[in-house]
Amino acid sequence: MTSSKSTALVARIEQWPIAGSFTISRGAKTEAVTVVAEVSRGRHTGRGECVPYSRYGETPEATLAALLSMREPLRQGLDRQALQAAMPPGAARNALDCALLDLEAKTGGQRVWTLLGRPAPRACITAYTISLGSPEAMAAATVKAAHRPLLKIKLGGDGDGKRIAAVRKAAPDSDLIVDANEAWASDNLEQNLANCAEAGVTLVEQPLPAGQDQMLARIRRPLAVCADESVHDLKSLDGLRERYDAVNIKLDKTGGLTEALAMADAAHALGFEIMIGCMVATSLAMAPAMLLAPVARFVDLDGPLLLARDRDAGLRYDGSMVYPPDAALWG
């Protein structure tokens, strides 16, 4: 029998249909596959959700197995601080870290930001993603979203100049950020950046492949460039300052909110602008990232808006405004 002081863990894989499809330079998908961890102690249960990312060699099955391997350490008293060394950064640790934080908040009877000594999150504007497609298809999708103040445009290489021009024409008043998802190369980098600057884009995410981005330090960047695939956790910030102006912090990369908060503090001290990003997932995955919103220049937590449906007690979205989570959801 589990004692009242030990922690029990259950985990499962879930599928959430996407409204239509979600397309980036690496392909398209029609459902979000998430892994949920639930940790219980006494009468309290904490939850966390992650999205295994094949770009980093993660699968739902391996992520689930990694989580279940922590059952015995948790039963023996593994806490959130010890978890940081017990598991590597990545999706599995994210789900468990966030579940343990949720459990700490519930056990202590206080909101998680109070527990961590952080500012309470407030409602903020989130970006809304326009998937990669032909210029005509992207313009049509943008027209439907042109009322939103911040749009994130997925680009993918050849023809990106026409794509971003078409999007700008369709949304003349929206702020635009671009995510190239590593699809550009040294021979089109400067032209693509110039096309984005001409269209009034504010920020470009990860234009070159991670590990092949040295050219960014040798050119004049006409607009801010943000690291995504080139930055993961706190240690990966080293050496990025010459190449990037901003970093995209995602909990599935950092391995949870604990590391993400430390990373945000360090990134701010180094002079980076901060973007808070997400994978396509439910509100349970977005809720912990809301604690980073007060220090972020850009918030990109639109995952639930791209789903056919969200989980019960999900985050409140009012247009592009996203509100802090209720305790019934997380934290």
State how far the Cα of 311 lies from the Cα of 67, in Å rounded to an integer.
22
Alpha carbon distance 205, 180 (integer Å) = 6
154 included as an active-site residue: yes
pLDDT of residue 201: 98
Q: Which pLDDT belongs to residue 111?
A: 98
Q: Per DSSP, which regions of the chain are E strands?
A: 8-24, 27-41, 44-50, 124-125, 128-130, 150-154, 175-179, 201-205, 224-227, 246-249, 273-276, 298-299, 317-318, 321-322
* From 5, 106, 152, 154, the catalytic residue: 154
Residue 24 is predicted with a pLDDT of 72
State residue 26's pLDDT score: 65
Residue type, 96: L
Q: Would you state the CATH architecture of domain 8-110?
A: 2-Layer Sandwich (3.30)
Residue 250 falls in the annotated catalytic set: yes
Choosing from 29, 162, 169, 250, which is the catalytic residue? 250
Domain limits of the chain? 8-110, 124-322
Output the six-digit token pair for 193: 């950046």
User: Hey, what CATH topology would domain 124-322 get?
Assistant: TIM Barrel (3.20.20)
Kindly report, residue by residue over 272-302, the tens digit of the pLDDT.
999 999 999 999 999 999 999 999 999 999 9
The confidence score (pLDDT) of residue 3 equals 45
pLDDT at site 4: 53
pLDDT in tens for each of the 331 residues of the chain? 334 578 999 999 999 999 977 777 667 778 999 999 999 999 999 999 999 999 899 999 999 999 999 999 999 999 999 999 999 999 999 999 999 999 999 999 999 999 999 999 999 999 999 999 999 999 999 999 999 999 999 999 789 999 999 999 999 999 999 999 999 999 999 999 999 999 999 999 999 999 999 999 999 999 999 999 999 999 999 889 999 999 999 999 999 999 999 999 999 999 999 999 999 999 999 999 999 999 999 999 999 999 999 999 999 999 999 999 999 999 9
